[in-house]
Amino acid sequence: MGRFYFLFLFLGLTTSFQAQEIEVCKSCEVKTIQVAVDRAENGDVIRIKSGVYKEHDITIIDKSLTIIGEGLPVIDAEMEGTAISIRAEKFSIEGLKIINVGRSHTNDFAGILISNSKNFEVKNNRLDQVFFGILLENSSDGIISGNKITSNAKNQATSGNGVHLWKAEKITVKNNEIIGLRDGIYLEFVNNSEILNNLCKDNLRYGLHFMFSDQDLYRGNIFENNGAGVAVMYSKFIDMQDNQFRKNWGSASYGLLLKEINDSELKNNIFEDNTIAISADNTNRINYIENDFKNNGYAIRIRGAVYDNIFERNNFLYNSFDVAYTGRLNENKFINNYWSGYSGYDLDKDGIGDVPFRPVTLFSYLVNKTPEAIVLLRSMFIDMLDFSEKVSPIFTPADLIDEQPQMKRIQW
């Protein structure tokens, strides 16, 4: 009986405090979203029915609202300014279509601008022809999921990023599709955040871009045909798992560009058809474990100042060059990898080749010095050169070897 009482009490409480619902449509009492926002109280729900709303700079300040679009209502910012900007705690935006966000060289106009906010959710929105898609500043504890952001970025100066996070904590960006912007997802000073299962495609610069961001995880994303798949710069403790980097082609294109990054791990990623799958510059204590490198121009290119990087149990499959290396070995280690170019034998049948493998060829050294020599790739003369270099290394680092090359492709 006491339990029943409690239930009644609870029901009574919720009904008395029940949030008001405001409907917005062309024939409703409230015709514009801004008016609805102005009328709404903390905790209210705003339902926007389908239709086209030509509004920009809709501003929500310090109101915890739930904004739901029904039948994908269109907010057309008419190329002027930001569509929605919010500074609040505990709110959600769902099911809107935002188009034609203004472009500017001085202001970062966005589809949805969130600043100084907490506990929010932006999901299942569709953003098209935007400058910045979802722009987040100085906020924490948010989820950005299931959005589809598209634009037609032509050059870097006049385009923005799909999801742009600046100074944020504990943000989850998942299941989004970001196509044709400058950076797909951009993180600057973002810590303890997760980037999961997104698709970043045809972006001008990077699919995903980390700057000064620590303790982050990205997993299960697909990066395809971007200027470069992912750039991780000046960051620490980044966990990279199960991602796919595909078809990042071009003279300055990378699957993954690592610059000034420390103490991170790459696991179970697939790199396919990139000009350079991984370019590492100034990276320390990185573990590359169980990744697949397939049909890339260069699988791994190591520039200077790289220390204590360990490459273990990776598959290097039919890359034009497996490893290109500048500088000294510096305690970097290649061990237990599978190399499709390995031609040794395994007499004791333990699955490990009896002859060590040298992943750096003389030709990759030559191409480094004289880039035009690339037209001689796979010529018989070059094969003969490489062979003689393998027998007695002079130009390539003699100690850069995989002591235990695997005989069979590693299944992970």
CB neighbours of 338 closer than 8 A, spacing ≥ 6?
A: 313, 314, 315, 316, 317, 405, 406, 407, 408, 409, 410
d(CA 309, CA 317): 20
d(CA 206, CA 224): 10
Q: How far is the CB of 401 from other proteins (least distance, A)?
A: 22
Q: How far is the CB of 273 from other proteins (least distance, A)?
A: 6
Taking the least distance from each CB to other proteins, the nearer of 12 and 250 is 250
One-letter amino acid of 165: L
Chain contacts with other proteins (rule: CB under 8 A): 249-253, 273-276, 295-298, 318, 320-321, 340, 366, 369-384
Q: How far is the CB of 91 from other proteins (least distance, A)?
A: 45
Cβ-count burial 365-383 (b if 16+ within 10 Å, e if not): bbbeeeeeeeeeeeeeebe
Taking the least distance from each CB to other proteins, the nearer of 91 and 321 is 321
Taking the least distance from each CB to other proteins, the nearer of 91 and 254 is 254
Instruction: Tell which residue, 352, 332, 359, has the closest CA to residue 404.
Output: 352
Instruction: Tell which residue, 85, 139, 133, 94, has the closest CA to residue 111.
Output: 133
CB neighbours of 63 closer than 8 A, spacing ≥ 6?
A: 37, 40, 41, 42, 44, 88, 91
CB 48 within 8 A of CB 96: yes
Taking the least distance from each CB to other proteins, the nearer of 197 and 295 is 295
Q: How far is the CB of 255 from other proteins (least distance, A)?
A: 10
| SS3 category, 240 | strand
Taking the least distance from each CB to other proteins, the nearer of 8 and 318 is 318
Q: How far is the CB of 218 from other proteins (least distance, A)?
A: 23
CB neighbours of 138 closer than 8 A, spacing ≥ 6?
A: 115, 116, 166, 167, 168
d(CA 320, CA 395): 19
Q: How far is the CB of 323 from other proteins (least distance, A)?
A: 13
Taking the least distance from each CB to other proteins, the nearer of 203 and 274 is 274
CB atoms closer than 10 angstroms to residue 349: 7
Taking the least distance from each CB to other proteins, the nearer of 133 and 359 is 359
Give me the count of residues in the chain.
412
Taking the least distance from each CB to other proteins, the nearer of 208 and 366 is 366
Taking the least distance from each CB to other proteins, the nearer of 133 and 297 is 297
Q: How far is the CB of 246 from other proteins (least distance, A)?
A: 11
| SS3 category, 191 | strand
Q: How far is the CB of 170 from other proteins (least distance, A)?
A: 38
> How buried is 334 (Cβ within 10 angstroms: 0-12 exposed, 13-18 middle, 19+ buried)?
buried
Q: How far is the CB of 374 from other proteins (least distance, A)?
A: 5
